Amino acid sequence: MIASLKSRLDQVMPTAVTGSVVETFGTTTAVAGFPVPIGAVVEVERQVGPPIPAEVIGFKGEQTLIYPLTGVQGIRRGNRVRMTHSFRTVGVGEQLLGRVLDAHGKCVDNLPPPTASDQVRLDRDPPNAINRPRIDQTISTGVRAIDGMLTCGLGQRVGIFAGSGVGKSVTLGMMARYTSADVNVIALIGERGREVNDFIERDLGPEGMARSVVVVATSDQPAIQRMQAAMAATSIAESFRESGKNVLFLMDSVTRFAMAQREIGLAAGEPPTTKGYPPSMFAMLPRLVERTGRTQKGSITAFYTVLVEGDDTNEPVADTVRGLLDGHIVLSRKLAGKGHYPAIDIMQSISRLMNDLVGEEARTGSIVIRDLMATYAENEDLINIGAYRQGSNPRIDMAIRLKDEIDRFLRQRVDEQASVQSAQEQLMALVRKCSIAQPNLQAAGGPKIAAK
């Protein structure tokens, strides 16, 4: 405890440092005579109204650049700027469960504020790579398609890639309600204001909310707040992990976090690179996602949603995030259009750790189902127009026969709960039916299955 306090004292700067506004450009304000560090929290005094909070984002010559948290209205040349904190912190603790917070960690759910809590920094360093234990335990997400075909582990980080309107929020809500994790920390970054209550009341529900902390920064708030909300949520998840809990961290979406960093980087004078994103965005993403994962004390299993423009999964943010994570789940607009929910495209999705987490039987079973799904997809046009003749190919025959049963396995009602064990049992029942019904599948080159 004393060592922790000493470390914080070593980083504190005197708050008597002041400067004055010299100009504004866009959403950024330049301050003269203000030698404070990047990330410091400051206040801009006005002739009318309360001071405007802001954060230092960079320097330009002799000027310090600050980014106001509530807009620049009322700021004029010569206004006094005063530093209030040398770095930003957020309150953490068990008392945050069931609460809705803003980017500063303040409760916005119209309930009494929680009791005093410990404060931690927003910009913490990721755990040391050497001290991270291997991921060797499964986590149940409550979604059968994921638990059965894309099994995830405690401390794994996965991206959910999808365009708008294909069921991301509903899928996240199912995870939060039915997961086997101890605590949920949910970051809603850049959401429409209407969607916040929709997610809390409809998708999350009282059961999920009781063991969740929700951090919100809506699309109308300044970019600095949207970025800080993601970092605050990560810090809160880290505090639960350090107390020995297994945390499910859901962030919707990492794309809007990247867009917020783009706004800040461009305002600070960074050069735009790929699709207008500055270099700082590509440096910030790995620092954010590396903070989650498993440690010696607990784990943070993270699911980050990624918005793909025009369903293009190769756009810059999606491509970068996919390379940083331990798997990706693709939601298909085509499946959603057919009423297939959750609209998970198994053929394009993968869990990189599944082979280390499940036994040989479950691993072989998932391969068999993937093989049948791929076989049906390759011959779907021939089947639909009646050009395929039954009995021509045993594998195609089996794919046709089990198509509806595979779809029923992958579909799931919102009020239906699943687990890794139940999902694998249903998967193997389906595979055994396949093996018994068509023994020639193995002779045709399919995987070897132990019939029971």
Average pLDDT over residues 346-351: 94
- The predicted pLDDT at position 437 comes to 41
pLDDT at 73: 83
Residue 305 pLDDT level (bands cut at 50, 70, 90): very high
Burial of 78 (0-12, 13-18, 19+ CB in 10 A): exposed
Where does the chain hold its CATH 2.40.10.170 domain(s)? 18-87
pLDDT band at 438 (very low <50, low <70, confident <90, very high): very low
Residues 6+ apart with CB under 8 A from 342: 143, 145, 167, 170, 171, 174, 331, 411, 412
First to last CA, the chain: 58
18-87 sits in which CATH class? mainly beta
% of the chain with per-residue pLDDT over 70 = 91
- How crowded is residue 403: how many other Cβ atoms within 10 Å of its Cβ? 15
pLDDT at 452: 38
Across 128-132, 242-246, 314-318, least confident range: 314-318
Any idea which fold 90-356 has? Rossmann fold (3.40.50)
State pLDDT tens for residues 311-337: 666 788 888 999 999 999 999 989 998
- In the predicted model, what is the mean pLDDT of residues 348-360? 93
The reported pLDDT for the residue numbered 6 is 54
264 pLDDT higher than 80: yes
Give the number of other Cβ atoms within 10 Å of residue 115's Cβ: 8
Q: Comparing 451 with 161, which gets the higher pLDDT?
A: 161
User: Across all residues in the chain, what is the average pLDDT?
Assistant: 87
Q: Does the pLDDT of residue 36 top 70, yes or no?
A: yes
Residues present in the chain in total: 452
Residue extent(s) of CATH 3.40.50.12240 domains in the chain: 90-356
pLDDT tens column, 156-175: 999 999 888 888 888 999 99
Residue 109: CB partners within 8 Å, gap ≥ 6?
99, 100
Q: Which CATH class is domain 361-437?
A: mainly alpha
> Rounded to whole angstroms, how far apart are CA atoms 184 and 256?
21
- So what's the pLDDT on residue 343? 94
When pLDDT is averaged across residues 284-289 and rounded to a whole number, the result is 93
pLDDT given for residue 116 in this prediction: 60
CA-based diameter of the chain, in Å? 85
pLDDT tens profile 41-98: 999 998 888 899 999 999 988 899 999 988 788 888 999 999 998 888 898 989 999 9
199 by DSSP, 3-state: which? helix
pLDDT digit string, tens, across residues 361-417 = 899 999 999 999 999 999 989 988 888 888 888 889 999 999 999 999 999 999 899
